Amino acid sequence: IADEALTLGGCEAVKNVIVYRRTGGNVAWTEGRDRSMEDVSAGQSDNCPAEPVGAEHPLFVLYT
């Protein structure tokens, strides 16, 4: 889906696509652009403390 979206144009700012190989099947791969989720996340901490914010924080602006 990401490959199709990128071919439509208007996505020139996209420099990398992170590919998560959930099923382990073969995927189309664009060398120099696509990056494996495993490689990107290797060595990263899984600790992510919560950041308290107020109820009116812009984080909670939902577009419907």
34: number of CA atoms within 13 Å, CB side?
12
Whether the predicted pLDDT of 11 surpasses 80: yes
Distance CA 30, CA 5 (A): 14
pTM of the entire structure? 0.65
pLDDT at 40: 94
Q: What are phi and psi of 38, to 5 degrees?
A: -60, -40
pLDDT at 43: 92
DSSP conformation class of 58:
G
Calculate ∠ Cα 6-38-8, nearest 5°: 5
Domain boundaries, the chain: 1-42
The mean per-residue pLDDT over the stretch 9-35 comes to 91
pLDDT at 42: 94
